[in-house]
Amino acid sequence: MKRGEFLRNTALSLAGALVVPQILAKNDTILGHNNKRYRINIRWSQADVSRYPVNDCHEMVQDQKGRILLLTNDIRNNVLIYDKNGKLLDSWGTEYPGAHGLTLFNENGTDFLFICDNARHQVIKTSIDGRVLMTLDYPKETGLYTKSEEYIPTETAIAPNGDIYVADGYGKDLVIQYDAQGRYIRHFGGRGDAAKNMLNAHGLCLDLRDKANPSLVVCSRQQNAFKRYDLEGKYLETIALPGAWVCRPVIKGEYLYAAVLQSNSRQWEQSGFVTILDRQNKVVSNLAGSEPAYKNGHLDEIYQTIKAFQYPHDVCVDDEENLYVAQWNSGRTYPYKLEPV
């Protein structure tokens, strides 16, 4: 589903934004299951809304200084930089109207950012303070695009050798691989009925937990699944997550975290939550969602049970295992912080 279709289906005004239940407003609600339980803080951000408003809060990362960077498609300030307590430290960016994907890569001790702008149909590499270093236009080399508008990139993942993987999540559902200098290598995935294909390849990440067998985990959001590939694009497996419209996978330690845009059983009804998988790809916790249960090795459908979130879009896990949840189309809501208990 393309961005325009999302907006038509789910347009919300500020007046229609979710009224947070009083139980959440007290910041003492515990979400999650098993050893992954968290206390939610909906008032984490201390940004002045009159000076630093947000539109869609798409993605968040933590840099080597411990700062939390938020990407929004409000061109008054595309990037907001916080400390872990929610104090706003800095901001930059006025040229990314379709700011969607934010990936941080540390190259020889220096942090760089990769921004996917789906309105500009480009991927832009910047310094941590916003200086543009490289721009990738639509991938003519694939032979599958006739114009830039067909290419709507949503996410990048960067391999240890600097190779760049771009998910065309609102375009043709391809993953396009480049080298560190931006030279085309190959593409894979795409739409279709085969296991290797995807429907809404919205996000992706490198999985380096098995050092001998690094892999790429890619969303197939409308199929309620992740697809795993090797670094040359060979399909390896499907991780089924019935009921969950999963966004970008984020790996920290032994666990995979993902925002779930919405529950499949309640589409376009502000029914999102956060899911956490262990190294064996088993769901161990759903934050504001149903308790995970497996029968004969198959996961029961998962869904929202507490209306803590509207449309979660990304999870950032910091160096103290706190979570930060950015939301799309949720009444210009600043991110929430969740602290482990």
Percent share of the chain, pLDDT over 90:
91
108 burial via Cβ count (<10 Å: 0-12, 13-18, 19+): exposed
What pLDDT does 86 receive?
98
Q: Average of pLDDT values for 251-278?
A: 98
Mean of all residue pLDDT scores within the chain: 93
Instruction: Give the list of residues 6+ apart from residue 75 with CB closer than 8 angstroms, or none.
Output: 93, 94, 95, 96, 97
Q: What is the DSSP letter of 149?
A: G
What pLDDT does 25 receive?
63
Cα angle 173-174-178, degrees, rounded to a multiple of 5: 145
Domains of the chain and any CATH numbers: 3-340 (2.120.10.30)
Please name which of 267, 151, 175, 255 lies closest in space to residue 209, comparing C-alpha atoms.
Answer: 255
Q: What is the DSSP letter of 106?
A: E
- d(Cα 183, Cα 99) in Å, to the nearest integer? 23
pLDDT per residue as tens digits for the range 96-116: 999 999 999 999 999 999 999
66 burial via Cβ count (<10 Å: 0-12, 13-18, 19+): exposed
pTM of the model: 0.93
What pLDDT does 18 receive?
40
